């Protein structure tokens, strides 16, 4: 496990410097070919209702599911190559919950779920995915209304599972980088939204989903130059989530 102190802040900063460059090292890393034991970060594409276009933040850069794609994934792959020993595909992969291929991957990423309303089939399939051991990152949403929608939909996906607010003691914040306190910076902080972290747990206590409420770590992955301090923390959180999904 890696402590969160100045030395490793500068390591992550060096990673960000590479992300902002067109160095031969980065080009060589991106030439890596996929294989059976290679990690792929999968983003879930979902259909938003027409009225979602009138919700704040939703259609500023394409449909809700696509925010920060593909740059966020590409930069995260580079961070994983620089900071871990994971082999990664480098593919910013998109799937829907109706694709059987979701069951081939240990982790899914979904964002902007304020208007997310999966069909009965999609809810059932995501529930089956999580019950089989899959893990879900839920990112980039804010406000009580959107949180209540998430709770409603997750009750359909995994009825009987419990959600609870997380603190810095949870193992997900210590499985690679050490977080002695949680990250309370956020792109939405200036709008009055204070970041919180939630987990969804099965009846045996296994966490099946991590929730970045009032936060957008994908923004930190996509735009490392805009706020280097937040971006460094966002990369560290994302790496911890990925390592946790692969080891629990």
* pLDDT tens, position by position, 172-222: 999 999 999 998 889 888 889 999 999 999 999 999 999 999 999 999 999
- The mean pLDDT value for 22-51 works out to 64
Confidence of residue 68 (pLDDT cuts 50, 70, 90): confident
- The mean pLDDT value for 18-32 works out to 40
Tell me the whole-structure pTM to 2 decimals: 0.86
In this prediction, residue 85 carries a pLDDT of 94
Half-sphere exposure of 121 (CA within 13 A, CB side): 6
Q: Are 43 and 68 in contact (CB under 8 A)?
A: no
Higher pLDDT, 141 or 9: 141
Q: State yes or no: pLDDT of 6 exceeds 50.
A: no
**Least-confidence region, from 24-28, 105-109, 164-168, 223-227:** 24-28
In this prediction, residue 63 carries a pLDDT of 86
Residue 39: φ, ψ to 5°: -80, 135
**Least-confidence region, from 55-59, 109-113, 236-240:** 55-59
In this prediction, residue 22 carries a pLDDT of 45
What is the distance between the alpha carbons of residues 240 and 176, in angstroms, rounded to a whole number? 6
Confidence of residue 13 (pLDDT cuts 50, 70, 90): low
Domains of the chain by range and CATH? Answer: 6-247 (3.40.50.12140)
In this prediction, residue 113 carries a pLDDT of 93
Confidence of residue 54 (pLDDT cuts 50, 70, 90): low
% pLDDT > 70, the chain? 80
In this prediction, residue 35 carries a pLDDT of 47
């Amino acid at each position: 496990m890696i402590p969160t102190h100045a030395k490793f802040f500068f390591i992550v900063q060096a990673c960000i410097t590479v992300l902002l460059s067109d160095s031969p090292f980065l080009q060589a890393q991106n030439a890596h070919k996929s294989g059976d034991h290679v990690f792929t970060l999968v983003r879930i594409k979902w259909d938003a209702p027409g009225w979602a276009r009138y919700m704040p933040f939703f259609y500023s850069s394409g449909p809700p599911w696509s925010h920060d794609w593909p740059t966020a994934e590409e930069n995260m792959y580079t961070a994983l190559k620089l900071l871990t020993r994971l082999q990664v595909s480098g593919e910013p992969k998109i799937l829907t919950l109706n694709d059987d291929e979701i069951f081939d991957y240990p982790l899914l990423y979904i964002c902007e779920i304020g208007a997310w309303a999966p069909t009965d089939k999609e809810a059932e399939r995501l529930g089956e995915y999580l019950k089989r051991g899959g893990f879900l990152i839920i990112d980039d949403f804010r406000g009580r209304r959107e949180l209540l929608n998430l709770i409603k939909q997750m009750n359909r996906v995994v009825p009987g599972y419990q959600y609870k607010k997380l603190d810095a003691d949870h193992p997900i914040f210590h499985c690679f980088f050490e977080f002695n306190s949680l990250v309370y910076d956020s792109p939405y902080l200036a709008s009055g939204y204070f970041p919180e972290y939630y987990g969804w747990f099965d009846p045996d206590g296994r966490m099946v989903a991590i929730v970045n409420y009032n936060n957008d770590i994908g923004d930190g992955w996509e735009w490392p130059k805009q706020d280097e301090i937040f971006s460094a923390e966002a990369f560290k959180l994302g790496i911890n989530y990925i390592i946790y999904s692969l080891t629990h």
